[in-house]
Chains A and B, each alone.
Chain A
Amino acid sequence: MILSTRANFRLLRRRRIKDRIMTGVIMLLSLIAIIPLFMIFYHIVVNGISAINFDFFTQLPVPLGEIGGGMGNCILGSIILISIASLGAVPIGVFGGVYLSEYKHERTASLFRWVVDLMMSMPSIVIGLFVYTSIVVPSKSFSAVAGGIALGLLMLPIVAKTTEEVLKLTPLHVREAGLALGLSRWRVILFIVLRGRKSAVITGIVLALGRIAGETAPLLVTAFGNRNWPTSLMQPTPSLPVQIYNYAISPYENWHKQAWAGALTLVVLIFFINIFTRVVFTRNDLGRNTQ
């Protein structure tokens, strides 16, 4: 019997060509996916680098018309806001993650997990709006506290979720080995399970910090902004992302430069956080630390 008639052969060739073409299309589309990343990096560096200097990090914005100035107050404001957020979100998030991983069968835990999942998928502006209606409107003032709480509510579910995931990786027999020594359960959980995964938990926290460092929308409606140094936690507080926004939509050349420089600072910070966490995670995955 002859298998490859002329028609068969032609069909096969057509299928092969189609295979090549489609593979090419997929590669091309995938390439398109990452082009914006390189373009954004390129433009941020080219436009931002010229305004980056010592003053940028230490000085106040200058009045309109003057050249120079900096975003020192915004950087300080961002640090204050993120600190307030971490103060609440880190302990509650870590212990919440412990609860989710170590007492997963409790009914409260399932409800808690559900809430954490919902908070994760909520648009950040909705969180901002919540803090706006519940704190800003009643207190009649934008404030660092309001902004910090909004960021904290964004950070909390991320920390809780990563902590849960990380602790779940600890095998059951490690917990049993601790219990078999006659240690009470809470000591086993805190001093063996949590301590043994310390670096991974910290990595999760740092990753969450990287996520909220660039948040703008919730801050716009809670901390608002300020052209001076932050003096009180109850006052409108400047932040790097909000200032980038304000400068970007302004019509002034000098402010645009400042916006690019701010974006460069922010992106470099976030990029380093991502690289750092990746390195730590890979080391943990491959190394002996996995137990």
Chain B
Amino acid sequence: MSSQPILSFQKVHAYYGEKHTVKGVSFDVQANEVVAIIGPSGCGKSTLLRCANRLHEEDPTARVEGSILLNGVDIFQNHADPVVVRQKVGMVFQKPTAFSGLSIWENVVAGRLLKGEKKAGLKEKAEHALKQASLWEEVKDKLNAPGLSLSGGQQQRLCIARALAVNPTAILMDEPTSALDPISAARIEELISELQKIITIVIVTHNLQQAARISDKTAFMNFGELIEFNSTSKLFTNPESKLTESYITGHFG
């Protein structure tokens, strides 16, 4: 019934050295969906996310089996370059990381600027991305100020704009609000719902209410295994698994 998924996890296993952190996880993410991954800390949700843009390779002991399809193409296949994969699949981290030494607008287009693209056309790109990340109104008068002069919440939206500026197919977010104050976090949540119109988002969060508020589908992981993948309303109101139920009602984790 549905078209080809944007991201498709197929029996993904991930190992860090001897540690088997993700055990055969499979689920699909459709276009313009927001999918939340929840689970107790150490359940492998962040690892899974890092596999999806091949950032796990930064750890030389890491190893992945199975496949992740991006628009039907395996990102681990023969000639796939991690750099190309990362341009297609953006990532936003827990800690807002504006790059020091770069101004606000340079930060936004860092992905292009630092690759050697000419500065000339990039200012419009930056404006566009900042508008998408609804940060434009706040910073339009100080685009040349250092990126680090922004507040934590603004920096996180800057990071989202930065990810958007590379024109990715999907954006992964690893607990993007956990280092922020509640008001800034709420703004990020609003932004995610807004962005859903133009892009696909996979978000890891330990905040169950947040997952319930913003996601269309939710995946619950425990000890590296995918316990349940369902529409958010179903998972939170009428879970199929006993384990899911005890987790969302706060009995463990």
Task: Give the shortest distance, in Å, between B151 (CB) and chain A (any CB).
Answer: 11
Main secondary structure of the interface of A (DSSP, over half): helix
Contacts known (A192-B114, A288-B148); A181 close to B58, Cβ less than 8 A: no
A176 nearest CB across to chain B (Å): 6
A291 touches which of B58, B100, B115 (Cβ 8 Å): B100
Interface pair A181/B166, CB less than 8 Å apart: yes
> Assuming the A-B contacts A181-B163, A187-B114, A195-B101, are A176 and B58 also in contact, with contact meaning beta carbons closer than 8 angstroms in the complex?
yes
The residue that A176 contacts in the complex, of B93, B111, B115, B163, with Cβ under 8 A, is B93
B interface list, Cβ under 8 A from A:
53, 55, 58, 60, 83-87, 90-91, 93-95, 97-102, 110-111, 114-115, 146, 148-149, 159, 162-163, 166
A177 adjacent to B101 (CB under 8 Å): no
Which of chain A's residues have a CB closer than 8 A to the CB of B98? 291
Question: Does A179 sit at the interface, judged by CB under 8 A?
Answer: yes
User: Is A14 part of the binding interface, using a Cβ–Cβ cutoff of 8 Å?
Assistant: no
Asked if B93 contacts A177 (CB within 8 A), the reply is yes
C-alpha spacing A171/B159, complex, angstroms = 16
CA–CA, A177 and B55, complex, Å: 10
For chain A, residues 177 to 224, give those with C-beta under 8 angstroms from any C-beta of chain B: 177-184, 187-188, 191-192, 195-198
CA distance A152 to B83 in the complex (A): 38
Q: Flag if B58 contacts A173 (CB, 8 Å).
A: no
List chain B residues, Cβ under 8 A from A181.
86-87, 90, 110-111, 114, 162-163, 166
Q: In whole angstroms, what is the CA distance A32 to B84 when docked?
A: 64
Which of the listed residues A182, A184, A291 has the most CB atoms from chain B within 10 Å of its own CB? A182
Is A182 a contact partner of B148 (Cβ separation < 8 A)? no
Q: Does A134 contact B (CB under 8 A)?
A: no
